[in-house]
């Protein structure tokens, strides 16, 4: 071994006594490795990803290329976990790292510690990649969204218990419909652990039950601040929720993936509370309006029936029921006239039919009713008197009996309940 750190040095005689160094492969590779690593301790390299490999170790191996050259790149698992987006074939990126040499093959390569997409932020690229993946699974499809109940009695909220969002929601709910049941499942809404807590809170509401709609959200912020609502765990928890979910992330312009998966999107937490809670005053006014319409409809129905009854009471058939019998009497006369002109068998048939008609006639005859002890009382104008309220002392009335009639003068009028009133009491 030589004094130069493991390089083997041989001396040989060559023309005129000049001596040249002879390196072993390992020694020369080590020298090149040392020169490269000290000469390029930190570099940024831009290129296009190709030949990407992901072995089970979790490390990433790929080639960074441009129009004329190629550079091997290695990203170890610990560094790959912090990239924040998925490397893809053909993706143009900027990589930071140091140049090193892999001695077994004598290849130089870039040992990368960070990578960024060229022309697009890492968060934005990760968002687009996850959106494309979840959309292909149908998590944003309109047909899987649940309807929001119009009048929920118990509302679940997933948000930070100390943020402005919960104060805004409670203020709107108390103003619009005080007394509703509100259940809060607290969760962090920012930071590395926020997504897991939000997803867990949604799952807990579904497991325990007792609420009819969920509001999930927070106040506004930057893309980084709102990133928990773009995490896959939160999006999948919203999509599998059996309780309708309103996404209430405080950003009126931009959308998160939670907004796309939710059954309804509200631009702010306050707007979510207004969407899910109807104003009590509006509901009461609606009820009162329906009550007024019901009363008008009932009054109209009674008035219509009263008019029909008045028209019916003025009918000549009710004032003089004997008119109903006239057609049957004429028919009987016709049949009797025909009896003498038909053979005996037909006469028997018509006689039976005649007897049937006579029986029906007797059943309809008011005289038959009078024969059972009833009577009909009329005024001098011939109108039938049905209510004692139509009489007064000293008035003459005509009473028709089963046989004959008589005229009398009213001495005293006694009021009594109508037949319909008595029925309703019973």
**pLDDT tens for residues 37-59?**
787 778 888 888 888 888 888 88
> Are 108 and 142 found together in one domain?
no
Token pair for 334: 């016709």
Percent of the chain with pLDDT over 90: 17
CB 139 within 8 A of CB 236: yes
Domain boundaries, position 31: 1-39
> Are 179 and 245 found together in one domain?
yes
Residue 337 maps to a domain: no
> Are 208 and 76 found together in one domain?
no
For the cut 50, the answer to whether the pLDDT of residue 6 exceeds it is: no
Q: What is the CATH number of the domain that holds 191?
A: 3.40.50.261
> Are 98 and 177 found together in one domain?
no
> Are 274 and 147 found together in one domain?
yes
User: What's the rounded mean pLDDT across residues 146-166?
Assistant: 88
For the cut 60, the answer to whether the pLDDT of residue 422 exceeds it is: no
CB 273 within 8 A of CB 215: yes
Residue 372 maps to a domain: yes
Show the 3-state SS of the chain. Answer: CCCCCCCCCECCCECCCECCCECCHHHHHHHHHHHHHHHCCCEEEEEEEEEEECCCCCCEEEEEECCCCEEEEEECHHHHCCCCCCCCCCCEEEEEEEEEEECCCCEEEEEEEEEEECCCCHHHHHHHHHHHHHHHCCCCCHHHCCCCCCCCCEEEEEECCCCHHHHHHHHHHHHHHCCCEEEEEECCCCCCCHHHHHHHHHHHHHHHCCCCEEEEEECCCCCCCCHHHHCHHHHHHHHHCCCCEEEEECCCCCCCHHHHHCCEECCCHHHHHHHHCCCHHHHHHHHHHHHHHHHHHHHHHHHHHHHHHHHHHCCHHHHCHHHHHHHHHHHHHHHHHHHCCCCHHHHHHHHHHHHHHHHHHHHHCHHHHHCCCCCEEEECCCCECCCHHHCCCCCEEEEECCCCEEEEECCCCCCCCCHHHHHHHC
> Are 167 and 272 found together in one domain?
yes
Contacts of 64 (CB under 8 A, 6+ apart): 45, 47, 48, 49, 50, 70, 71, 72, 73, 93, 95, 110
For the cut 60, the answer to whether the pLDDT of residue 386 exceeds it is: yes
User: What's the rounded mean pLDDT across residues 127-149?
Assistant: 89
Q: What is the CATH number of the domain that holds 63?
A: 2.40.50.140
pLDDT band at 391 (very low <50, low <70, confident <90, very high): confident
Residue 420 maps to a domain: yes
> Are 149 and 197 found together in one domain?
yes
CA angle 35, 28, 50 (to 5 degrees): 65
User: What's the rounded mean pLDDT across residues 260-276?
Assistant: 88
For residues 145 and 143, give the distance between their C-alpha atoms in angstroms, rounded to a whole number.
Answer: 6
> Are 94 and 220 found together in one domain?
no
- pLDDT for the residue numbered 304: 82
Domain boundary residue, one of 257, 278, 299? 278
For residues 413 and 393, give the distance between their C-alpha atoms in angstroms, rounded to a whole number.
Answer: 7
For residues 145 and 336, give the distance between their C-alpha atoms in angstroms, rounded to a whole number.
Answer: 82
> Are 97 and 4 found together in one domain?
no
Number of domains in the chain: 4
CB 238 within 8 A of CB 217: no
Domain boundary residue, one of 89, 119, 149? 119
Domain boundary residue, one of 248, 278, 308? 278
Query: Which of 27-36, 237-246, 286-295, 410-419 holds the top average pLDDT?
Result: 237-246
Average pLDDT, the chain: 79
For the cut 50, the answer to whether the pLDDT of residue 2 exceeds it is: no
Percent of the chain with pLDDT over 70: 79
User: What's the rounded mean pLDDT across residues 142-160?
Assistant: 90
Token pair for 217: 């959200």
Token pair for 402: 């089963």
Each residue of 71-125: pLDDT tens digit?
899 999 888 887 777 788 878 888 888 888 888 887 888 888 888 777 656 667 7
Question: Of the ranges 10-19, 164-173, 272-281, which one carries the lowest mean pLDDT score?
Answer: 10-19
Q: Please tell me which residue, 312 or 425, carries the higher pLDDT value.
A: 312
> Are 17 and 103 found together in one domain?
no
* pTM reported for the whole predicted model: 0.48
> Are 183 and 223 found together in one domain?
yes
Q: Please tell me which residue, 213 or 421, carries the higher pLDDT value.
A: 213
Residue 292 maps to a domain: no
Residue 324 maps to a domain: no
Residue for token pair 């009363």: 295
- pLDDT for the residue numbered 411: 85
Could you give the maximum distance between any two Cα atoms of the chain, in Å?
A: 175
pLDDT band at 423 (very low <50, low <70, confident <90, very high): low
Residue 126 maps to a domain: no
Residue 258 maps to a domain: yes
pLDDT band at 251 (very low <50, low <70, confident <90, very high): low
Residue 342 maps to a domain: no
Beta bridge partners of 18: 14
For the cut 80, the answer to whether the pLDDT of residue 222 exceeds it is: no
User: What's the rounded mean pLDDT across residues 337-362?
Assistant: 73
For residues 354 and 373, give the distance between their C-alpha atoms in angstroms, rounded to a whole number.
Answer: 27
> Are 142 and 104 found together in one domain?
no
- pLDDT for the residue numbered 244: 94
Each residue of 301-327: pLDDT tens digit?
887 887 777 776 666 656 666 666 777
């Amino acid at each position: 071994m030589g004094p130069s750190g493991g390089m083997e040095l041989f001396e040989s005689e060559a023309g005129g006594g000049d001596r040249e160094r002879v390196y072993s492969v390992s020694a020369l590779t080590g020298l090149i490795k040392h020169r490269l690593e000290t000469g390029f301790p930190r570099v940024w390299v831009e290129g296009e990803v190709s030949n990407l490999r992901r072995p089970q170790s979790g490390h990433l191996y790929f080639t960074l290329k441009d129009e004329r050259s190629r550079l091997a790149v290695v990203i170890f698992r610990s560094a790959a976990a912090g990239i924040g987006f998925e490397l893809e074939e053909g993706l143009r990126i900027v990589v930071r790292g140091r140049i090193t040499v892999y001695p077994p093959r004598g290849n130089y390569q870039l040992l990368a510690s960070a990578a960024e997409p060229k022309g697009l932020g890492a968060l934005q690229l990760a968002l687009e990649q996850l959106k494309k993946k979840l959309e292909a699974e149908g998590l944003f499809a309109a047909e899987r969204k649940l309807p929001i109940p119009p009048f929920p009695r118990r509302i679940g909220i997933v948000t930070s218990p100390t943020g402005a969002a919960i104060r805004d929601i409670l203020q709107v709910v108390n103003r619009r419909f005080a007394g509703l049941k509100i259940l809060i499942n607290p969760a962090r809404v920012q930071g590395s652990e926020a997504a897991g807590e939000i997803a867990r809170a949604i799952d807990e509401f579904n497991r325990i039950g007792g609420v009819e709609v969920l509001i999930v959200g927070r106040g506004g912020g930057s893309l980084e601040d709102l990133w928990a609502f773009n995490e896959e765990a939160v999006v999948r928890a919203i999509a599998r929720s059996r309780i309708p979910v309103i996404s209430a992330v405080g950003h009126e312009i931009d959308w998160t993936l939670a907004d796309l998966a939710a059954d309804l999107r509200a631009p702010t937490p306050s707007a979510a509370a207004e969407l899910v809670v109807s104003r009590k005053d509006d509901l009461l006014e609606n009820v009162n309006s329906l009550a007024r319409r019901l009363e008008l409809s009932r009054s109209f129905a009674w008035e219509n029936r009263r008019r029909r009854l008045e028209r019916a009471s003025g009918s000549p058939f009710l004032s003089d029921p004997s008119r109903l019998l006239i057609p049957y009497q004429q028919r009987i006369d016709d049949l009797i006239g025909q009896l003498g002109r038909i053979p005996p068998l037909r006469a028997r048939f018509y006689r039976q039919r005649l007897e049937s008609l006579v029986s029906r006639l007797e059943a309809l005859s008011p005289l038959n009713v009078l024969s059972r002890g009833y009577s009909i009382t009329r005024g001098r104008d011939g109108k039938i008197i049905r209510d004692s309220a139509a009489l007064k002392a000293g008035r003459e009335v005509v009473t028709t009996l089963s046989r004959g009639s008589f005229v009398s003068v009213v001495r005293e009028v006694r009021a009594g309940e109508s037949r319909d009133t008595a029925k309703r009491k019973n």
